[in-house]
Amino acid sequence: MLKIIIPTIMLIPLTWMSKPNMIWINTTTYGLLISLISLFYLNQPNDNTLNPSLMFFSDSLSAPLLALTTWLLPLMLMASQHHLSKEPLTRKKLYISMLILLQLFLIMTFTASELIFFYILFEATLIPTLIIITRWGNQTERLNAGLYFLFYTLMGSLPLLVALLYIHNFMGSLNFLMIQYWIQPLPNSWSNIFLWLACMMAFMVKMPLYGLHLWLPKAHVEAPIAGSMVLAAVLLKLGGYGMMRITTLLNPLTNFMAYPFMMLSLWGMIMTSSICLRQTDLKSLIAYSSVSHMALVIVAVLIQTPWSYMGAMALMIAHGLTSSMLFCLANSNYERIHSRTMILARGLQTLLPLMAAWWLLASLTNLALPPTINLIGELFVVMSSFSWSNITIILMGINIIITALYSLYMLITTQRGKYSHHIKNIKPSFTRENALMTLHLLPLLLLSLNPKIILGPIY
């Protein structure tokens, strides 16, 4: 694992010591090289994990997320080039260092083998994200957004710390590889119910669950593009990954403790999808669509069947790439007209046809078109929730319809129709932007050819 971590650490001196006109090129290139190394971890032996060291390991649950994280860093750097072009050099380097630091913490989080180590790094990812949102966001609301983001997550995760230390005391070790063999069923008692709640609430807030999702639209909207990308693509998946890891310890309480959260997720995904239909702010629409997709993942993780875990994994990877791509598209609009309102920049297909192609593909993957991995994820989740309870198919069906509705609404509002007059002289698409969209879309489409690698540990 050090072969990924040490190069990522060394990216920071690379930023600070490169020539001013080479900082973007150097960091993006080496970021791409590091992501190549992480692809090796996708080759997992069956029913086993790769254990390179005492502290780090990777199995088929964490390897796809690791690949997603390392793939996203060069993409974030490419996306940030424009809005940072006018800043002084030191601030550019600081921004890039924050992104690299966040990447480092995320890599270590996904490969941590001990649960307290995972917790420390889980919390550590908050600091660079907070700095990116609050320092480089664009509107005054970013201060509030940073506060909501930090405090919602911390309120959920401090009980997790106490719960982890308690579990450490009675189990003897929190090393994930060893706990698998020592798990005993948790007896049903009030204190165990609180233990379950303490363990899960941190990840529920992070996902986010519908009632605790208030931080997400704020944070996603106010963050600069790299912040939005990493928040949507990776940080939400931290919640899903954590939930998948920690539910192994919490049987059989999950059978009945999951009901309130299932109901909140099932209802919440319809609610947030419906809110998307009435949004005027483009980034806010994509943020709420993230909540809706993540609610599906919560449902899948709480059902705890093999198909639902496969669906959750596929959905996490697919949603990461799709959401990040949608934020990049929204940002390309924002950089031209400096407003997030959808209807201000209509009819872009006439002016920027290639970008319209990317918009079309992104919207199609967002609404889970076959044969993309988005569909595989959603389909597996829908089928497993049908087997859990037949009635959920109604809610899932309504959600799929509304998802399709708002994705097409977003596409049609921004791309089709007559263009608005004031955008006639926007700059044409940069090659950088087209490359960015391609790099998002290519893994997504290629994975639909071989989804086995992202289907997780149960495959």
Partner 1 sequence: MKPPILIIIMATIMTGTMIVMLSSHWLLIWIGFEMNMLAIIPILMKKYNPRAMEASTKYFLTQATASMLLMMGVTINLLYSGQWVISKISNPIASIMMTTALTMKLGLSPFHFWVPEVTQGITLMSGMILLTWQKIAPMSILYQISPSINTNLLMLMALTSVLVGGWGGLNQTQLRKIMAYSSITHMGWMAAIITYNPTMMVLNLTLYILMTLSTFMLFMLNSSTTTLSLSHMWNKFPLITSMILILMLSLGGLPPLSGFIPKWMIIQELTKNNMIIIPTLMAITALLNLYFYLRLTYSTALTMFPSTNNMKMKWQFEYTKKATLLPPLIITSTMLLPLTPMLSVLD
Q: State the sign of the Cα–Cα–Cα–Cα dihedral 415, 416, 420, 426.
A: positive
Tally the residues of the chain: 459
Query: Closest CB to partner 1 among 121 and 271?
Result: 121
Q: How far is the CB of 261 from partner 1 (least distance, A)?
A: 20
CB of 154 to partner 1, least distance (A): 6
**Rounded distance, CA 405 to CA 451, Å?**
26
Whose tokens are 């941190």? That residue is 202
Q: Name the minimum Å distance from CB 100 to partner 1.
A: 15
Find the shortest distance in angstroms from Cβ 169 to partner 1. 6
Nearest-approach distance from CB 242 to partner 1, in angstroms: 15
Site of interaction with partner 1 (CB under 8 A): 90, 94, 105, 116, 119-121, 123-124, 126-127, 131, 134-135, 143, 146-147, 150-151, 154-155, 158-159, 161-162, 165-166, 168-169, 191, 198
- Shortest CB 93 distance to partner 1, Å: 12
- Asked if 121 contacts 102 with a C-beta cutoff of 8 angstroms, the reply is no
31/146 with CB nearer partner 1: 146
Measured from the CB atom, the residue of 166 and 419 that comes closer to partner 1 is: 166
Cβ neighbour number for residue 432 with a 10 Å cutoff: 14
Closer Cβ to partner 1, 195 or 301, answer by number? 195
Contact between 239 and 207 under an 8 Å Cβ cutoff? The reply is: yes
**C-beta closer to partner 1: residue 94 or 364:** 94
Q: Nearer to partner 1 by C-beta: 50 or 101?
A: 101
Minimal distance, residue 193 CB to partner 1, in Å: 13
Q: Which is nearer to partner 1, 45 or 187 (CB)?
A: 187
The one-letter amino acid code at 215 reads W
Output the smallest distance, CB 90 to partner 1, in A. Answer: 8
Report the residue number, 167 or 326, with the smaller CB distance to partner 1.
Answer: 167
**Residue nearer to partner 1 on the CB measure, 94 or 229:** 94
Query: Which tokens sit at 103?
Result: 């990447």
Minimum CB distance to partner 1 smaller for 6 or for 162: 162
* Per-residue H/E/C for the chain: CHHHHHHHHHHHHHHHHCCHHHHHHHHHHHHHHHHHHHHHHHCCCCCCCECCCCCECECCCHHHHHHHHHHHHHHHHHHHCCCCCCCCHHHHHHHHHHHHHHHHHHHHHHHECEHHHHHHHHHHCHHHHHHHHHHHCCCCHHHHHHHHHHHHHHHHHHHHHHHHHHHHHHHCCCEHHHHHHHCCCCCCCHHHHHHHHHHHHHHHHHCCCHHHCCHHHHHHHHCCHHHHHHHHHHHHHHHHHHHHHHCCCCCCCHHHHHHHHHHHHHHHHHHHHHHHHCCCEHHHHHHHHHHHHHHHHHHHHHHCCHHHHHHHHHHHHHHHHHHHHHHHHHHHHHHHHCCCEHHHCCCHHHHCHHHHHHHHHHHHHHCCCCCCHHHHHHHHHHHHHHHHCCCHHHHHHHHHHHHHHHHHHHHHHHHCCCCCHHHCCCCCCCHHHHHHHHHHHHHHHHHCCCHHHHCCCCC
CB of 87 to partner 1, least distance (A): 12
What is the closest distance, in whole angstroms, from the C-beta atom of residue 157 to partner 1 in the complex? 10
The residue (of 191 and 390) whose beta carbon lies closer to partner 1 is: 191
Q: How far is the CB of 234 from partner 1 (least distance, A)?
A: 18
∠ Cα 126 67 175 (to 5°): 65
